[in-house]
Structure 1
Amino acid sequence: MSHFVKPALAYALPVFALAFCLGALRVTLVEPRIGPLAAVALEVPVVLALSWLVAGAVLRRWPQDWPRRLAMGALAFLVLMALELATALSFGQSAAGFLAAMATPAGLLGLAGQVGFGLIPALRPQPSG
């Protein structure tokens, strides 16, 4: 089990940091101009592309068979969601508000992106060398 914990953290933490920065730009600069759904629609592909690159680097460092890549992605998804909740709470949002925001169109699109993030290690071919 521990064989995929370190890679999961090495995958989740930099992607969260990058997405946090992009999210700050989205909320402050993009969303007021085009609305929340369009802003998230612009952000999700960028985060998924970055996730693909980070997953490749992590899998080069810690090669995993398919079941461990799936477990790595699942754990990384859980870590990401915990970090997202912690961030929401730190900005004064309640846990109920966090969950309610996920039920909006923008929230559902963001959640779909987060699920995609979790699946990338299993979908991505094992990089060579």
Structure 2
Amino acid sequence: MANVLKAGIFYFLGVFTLGFVLGAMRMFFLVPYTGPVIAVLIEIPLLLLFAWFFCRFLTGRLDISSAIYDRLVMGSVAIALVMAGEVLIVLLLLEGTVTGFLVAFDLPENRIGLDAQIAFALFPLVQSYAENESKR
């Protein structure tokens, strides 16, 4: 179980760090030219591609079993930390509120981002199914 929690934390750290960098680049370089929705649609595939391969790396490196429970815990820890990290960024850096954070999901670009975060959280589970199918 310790490795599963460690994998979730590392998964969060890697993807959140890249997401923070890509998000800053998106805001400064893409949004002024493309608008927020197109900018997010450009950013998300890069982030999800990294998340997919980083997830595969971590599950192999930390020897995470393909058991559904282990993979769900890994993804759940990672997305819980992502959400907490985003709330902290809104509160500390953007001087916003939790209510403002939640209301912002009404914007299309933020809903797209939330969908990507859900996919990111499900990657460990999806990969376990792929691993189990390849063993058959």
The TM-score with structure 2 as length reference comes to: 0.87
Q: Name structure 2 gaps, 5 residues minimum.
A: 132-136
Distance 2:54 2:85 in 1: 18
Match of 2:70 in 1: 68
Distance 2:96 2:27 in 1: 15
Aligned residue pairs, count: 126
How far residue 66 of structure 1 moved from its aligned partner, in angstroms, is: 2.8
Distance 1:85 1:43 in 2: 20
Match of 1:7 in 2: 7
Residues 78-121 of structure 1: per-residue CA shift (max 9 Å, x gap): 11111111111122121111111111111100000010110011
Match of 2:23 in 1: 23
1:111 aligned to which of 105, 110, 114: 114
Distance 2:68 2:58 in 1: 14
Distance 1:6 1:35 in 2: 37
Distance 1:89 1:6 in 2: 26
Distance 2:113 2:102 in 1: 12
Distance 1:98 1:105 in 2: 14
Distance 2:96 2:42 in 1: 24
Distance 1:49 1:2 in 2: 26
What is the aligned-residue identity percentage? 33
Single out whichever of 111-120 and 60-69 deviates more from structure 2: 60-69
Distance 1:39 1:99 in 2: 21
Distance 2:107 2:53 in 1: 29
Distance 2:80 2:117 in 1: 10
- Amino acid aligned to 2:58: V
Q: Bigger radius of gyration, 1 or 2?
A: 2
Residues 40-93 of structure 1: per-residue CA shift (max 9 Å, x gap): 111111111010111011101122223201211011111111111111112212
Distance 2:38 2:103 in 1: 19
Distance 1:80 1:48 in 2: 14
